[in-house]
């Protein structure tokens, strides 16, 4: 199994008194529960938290050799490569911006622990050959931390693992421009078929804390985390998922603490309307279903979005009232 270093806390911007140390400590514990093997923190984060929570394993990102000597008892340290740093548990970070620079890394081949950061454009060339060369160059452990300038960091990190790489550096939601922690975890489960012993159902809790700390809203369509990723509108999709969820979903929504929901809108068909009516405990004749569908599509076009459950129920009530009035007339 591979090792994963989470860089979330080194990428979070610290203001004068926010986020609080307790928030950062809670984030450490939650990310550890998600499956990160090591939590990387900076000296400013360490000072803000104070006493680190027990449980997670920590790596200190140091700027100087003096910081490494001052803050002892860490599992490992990360520092940008310096010739005079010769400490057993130090990971030397080397920035590589171009795959053509890889052959020149042979001067670092003696290092026991290395983290290669960058290689944003690796996906544009023969990335498999480049990754193979990286693994052959070093005698020790190589951790890959692809950056995300070309929006390929997560794909590169996954390819690294699939090619036999043993260590990667990631961050929650990809903050800081790195591979995405939660996407790598799900890829390990679904694509690599790894039996990961972590509780991904806490992802909504981690997301909420992340949004509080960063004052950033996770997009509704964000893979794994988005509020609407299990919302289905199109008729054929709604019908397919209702019969067999695996038709469109690679994993159960409950795995990541979410629930599947059928929404109605301009793309809906009668199947989606019937499913929604069943959810509300209603069983109406086909004539009414057709009328409800007609009104749903009309309102969805006007509002330029799917309808909420409240709006759907309002339409249903209007159609029922209209049909009753026709009978009595």
Do the bridges between strand 141-146 and strand 38-42 make them parallel or antiparallel, or are there none, so unpaired?
Answer: unpaired
Q: Give me the tens of pLDDT residue by residue for the chain, a chain 329 residues long.
A: 789 999 999 999 999 889 999 999 999 999 999 999 999 999 999 999 999 999 999 999 999 999 999 998 898 999 998 877 777 889 999 999 999 999 999 999 888 899 999 999 898 889 999 999 999 998 888 999 999 999 999 999 999 999 999 999 999 999 999 999 999 999 988 888 877 778 899 999 999 999 999 999 999 889 999 988 887 766 566 667 767 777 777 888 888 998 877 788 888 888 888 888 888 888 898 889 999 999 999 999 999 988 888 999 999 999 888 877 665 55
pLDDT of amino acid 234: 61
Cβ(221)–Cβ(251) below 8 Å = no
DSSP run (H or E) holding 243: helix 235-243
pLDDT of amino acid 79: 94
Write out the two tokens for 42: 């900076």
d(C-alpha 35, C-alpha 151), whole Å = 23
Domains of the chain by range and CATH? 3-214 (3.20.20.70), 231-328 (no CATH)
pLDDT of amino acid 237: 64
Mean pLDDT of the chain: 89
């Amino acid at each position: 199994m591979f090792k994963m270093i989470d860089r979330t806390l080194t990428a979070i911007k610290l203001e004068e008194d926010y986020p609080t140390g307790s928030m950062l400590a809670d984030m450490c514990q939650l990310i550890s529960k998600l499956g990160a093997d090591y939590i990387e923190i900076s000296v400013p984060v360490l000072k803000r938290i104070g006493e680190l929570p027990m449980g997670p394993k920590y790596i200190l990102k140091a700027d100087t050799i003096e910081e490494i000597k001052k803050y002892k008892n860490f599992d490992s340290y990360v520092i940008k490569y310096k010739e005079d740093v010769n400490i057993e548990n130090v990971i030397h970070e080397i920035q590589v911006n171009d795959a053509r620079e890889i052959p020149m890394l042979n001067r670092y081949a003696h290092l026991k622990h290395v983290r290669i950061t960058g290689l944003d454009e690796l996906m544009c060339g023969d990335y498999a050959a480049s990754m193979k060369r990286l693994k052959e160059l070093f005698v020790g452990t190589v951790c890959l931390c692809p950056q995300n300038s070309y929006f390929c960091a997560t794909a590169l990190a996954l390819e690294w693992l699939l090619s036999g790489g043993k260590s990667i550096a990631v961050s929650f939601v990809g903050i800081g421009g790195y591979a995405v922690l939660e996407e790598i975890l799900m890829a390990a489960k679904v694509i690599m078929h790894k039996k990961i012993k972590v509780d991904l159902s806490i992802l909504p809790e981690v997301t909420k804390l992340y949004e509080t700390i960063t004052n950033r809203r996770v997009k509704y369509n964000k893979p794994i985390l988005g509020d609407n990723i299990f919302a289905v509108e199109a008729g054929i999709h709604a019908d397919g998922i209702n019969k067999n969820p695996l038709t469109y979903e690679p994993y159960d929504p409950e795995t990541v603490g979410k629930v599947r929901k059928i929404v109605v809108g301009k793309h809906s068909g009668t199947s989606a309307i019937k499913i929604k009516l069943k959810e509300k405990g209603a069983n109406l004749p086909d004539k009414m279903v057709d009328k409800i569908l007609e009104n749903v599509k009309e309102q969805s076009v006007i509002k330029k979005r799917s309808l909420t459950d409240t709006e759907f129920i309002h339409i249903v009530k209007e159609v029922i009232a209209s049909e009753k009035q026709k009978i009595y007339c």
